Structure 1
Amino acid sequence: MSESVSSGAPGGRPPLDPLDAGGLDAAGALRLLRDGTITVTGRLVEASNATLYCEISLVGVGDGDGDGDGDGDTGRCVYKPVRGERALWDFPDGTLAGRERAAYLLSEATGAGIVPPTVLRDGPFGPGMVQLWIDIDETVDLVALVRSDDPQLRAIALFDAVVNNADRKGSHLLPGPSGRIYGIDHGVTFHVEDKLRTLLWTWRGHRLRADELELLACLREAAGGSLGAALAALLTDAEIASLRARINRLLTERRFPVPSGDWPPIPWPPF
């Protein structure tokens, strides 16, 4: 799948609000992430894997079409090199960056703009995931937000059910200055076993709306076409088959999932 930008988030909003992204739109962000020069300036020490805070710049690079458009764009990003991934007992080594990219592609396919622009590319410490830095509204109380029934959180809860997110912490929700809520840290997703672990259980067992069922039907079709082809470079055949099975199950049951007694339903720590 190319670095195309989806038609937009629900309600006609673009998939990325420049107010949350240092003035960049989605197309500009993807160009910057793909072609910009990365300079590591810090590390997010609370992350379990190597997570580097970086400046990224297209100064002197341009966008490759010779017209100078895009030359001079700068921004901030998070760079997670594959070599810095901590080994996990239940996920194959060296696959977390690809899962982050896969989550972005699926988010793009929904048009919901949940996951910030994300690419796989080489960086100062080798290949890894590079994701646009999102500014957050520091006045938002994350605990109160997670306990709310904000419709954006409902969309994220459905997204997490589809990607089988095993670690939706409160700190993985980013409320932007625009009012948009983004989701990050999708390295432990797309497992073949049901591992949904999240703070967003507000809608457990609730019936899916008609628009949500329509979205799932579109995702099912895309998973058998262009989206599936793009995911094939990032996930195993079994993981893609499990993705399709989860979509089919949601369409059949027409309800949000409920916590399973076979897997802890809430991540630890929760924030």
Structure 2
Amino acid sequence: MTASFDGLTTTDAEELLRVGELSVAGRLADASNVTLYCTVSAAGASAACVYKPVAGERPLWDFPDGTLAGREVAAYAVSEALGWSIVPPTVHRDGPYGEGMVQLWIDGDPEADLIELSRREDHQGLRRMAVFDAVINNSDRKIGHLLPTREGHLYGCDHGVSFAEEYKLRTVLWQWRGEPLTQEALEALVRLRGRLAEPDDPLNAELARHLTGPERYAMVRRVEILCEHRIHPYPSPDWPAVPWPPV
């Protein structure tokens, strides 16, 4: 899937985020970790973006300190490997407050009813997101993390608490649990499995920069299990199935 961001290709957007000058405009006060709204500019191009410095990450008991920004970049890499452009262009770089994650800002559709959207069973983008979350073991897919655009594409944000070794899938998107995966999803997962099996694939190098060996192995096993069983996963009986608050 080819994405366009106000005339920028995905590659152009990545390069702008990677080398552009970051100017902080404000802070998103409702975020649990320090999340800064910025403008990134270079060579006459500019775009709005989100900057999450590692120094502003709140310590968590179940994720190593200072790793959330890298997990967001890893989530983007997997999203691109699946070919679904679920995660906006995201890079790991230095910024005004140190190293962190910088992600292109997506203007969501202000008229979209996110609660209603989250319950739909006939939305292709939403179902893709459910598969994506199963792959990255997303432990915090809230309704507010859905970013539908006016053009009809669905993005997702806030993937810092993903890729744990232990099964921790927590999401509001359980409407397909136990149902067969779509043929499109199976084909994407098989392609992803093939890339993960190639040591020299750039995807593996990117994941190795941000995840531990056991975390990468656990993701490979999740992809293999999805390919073998060909169904959407069920909630774990040992872990809360829905994030709180769900919005």
Which residue is 2:194 aligned to? Answer: 221
Distance apart, 1:218 and its partner CA? 1.0
- Structure 2 residue ranges without an equivalent (≥5): none
C-alpha contact (below 8 Å) 2:193/2:220 kept by paired residues: yes
Equivalent runs, 1:30-179 vs 2, <5 Å: 30-58=14-42, 71-149=43-121, 150-179=123-152
Structure 2 residue identity aligned to 1:52 = L
Does the residue aligned with 1:233 lie in a helix, a strand or coil?
Answer: helix
For 1:97 and 1:237, the matched residues in 2 are separated by 17
Structure 2 residue identity aligned to 1:140 = A
Which residue is 1:261 aligned to? Answer: 237
Does the residue aligned with 1:54 lie in a helix, a strand or coil?
Answer: strand
Does the residue aligned with 1:27 lie in a helix, a strand or coil?
Answer: helix
Structure 2 residue identity aligned to 1:29 = A
Distance apart, 1:24 and its partner CA? 2.7
For 2:222 and 2:120, the matched residues in 1 are separated by 26
C-alpha contact (below 8 Å) 1:17/1:178 kept by paired residues: no
For 2:11 and 2:207, the matched residues in 1 are separated by 21
Identity value in percent: 55
Distance apart, 1:216 and its partner CA? 1.0
Structure 2 residue identity aligned to 1:216 = L
Number of equivalences: 243
For 2:50 and 2:187, the matched residues in 1 are separated by 33
Structure 2 residue identity aligned to 1:108 = E
Does the residue aligned with 1:212 lie in a helix, a strand or coil?
Answer: helix
Structure 2 residue identity aligned to 1:155 = R
CA-to-aligned-CA distance 1:172-231 (integer Å, 9 cap, x gap): 010112111101100000000000000011111011122322211111111122122221
C-alpha contact (below 8 Å) 1:205/1:256 kept by paired residues: yes
Cα RMSD for the two superposed structures: 1.0
Which residue is 2:224 aligned to? Answer: 248
C-alpha contact (below 8 Å) 2:125/2:154 kept by paired residues: yes
For 2:69 and 2:221, the matched residues in 1 are separated by 23
For 1:230 and 1:73, the matched residues in 2 are separated by 26
Does the residue aligned with 2:86 lie in a helix, a strand or coil?
Answer: coil
Does the residue aligned with 1:55 lie in a helix, a strand or coil?
Answer: strand
C-alpha contact (below 8 Å) 2:83/2:188 kept by paired residues: no
C-alpha contact (below 8 Å) 1:81/1:129 kept by paired residues: yes
Q: Quick check: 113-122 or 201-210, which moved more? A: 201-210
Structure 2 residue identity aligned to 1:185 = D
Q: Quick check: 224-233 or 161-170, which moved more? A: 224-233
C-alpha contact (below 8 Å) 1:54/1:79 kept by paired residues: yes
- Structure 1 residue ranges without an equivalent (≥5): 1-8, 59-70
Distance apart, 1:51 and its partner CA? 0.2
**TM value normalised by structure 2:** 0.96
C-alpha contact (below 8 Å) 2:17/2:104 kept by paired residues: yes
Does the residue aligned with 1:197 lie in a helix, a strand or coil?
Answer: coil
C-alpha contact (below 8 Å) 1:115/1:183 kept by paired residues: yes
Which residue is 1:27 aligned to? Answer: 11
Which residue is 2:159 aligned to? Answer: 186
Partner residue of 1:201 out of 174, 179, 182: 174
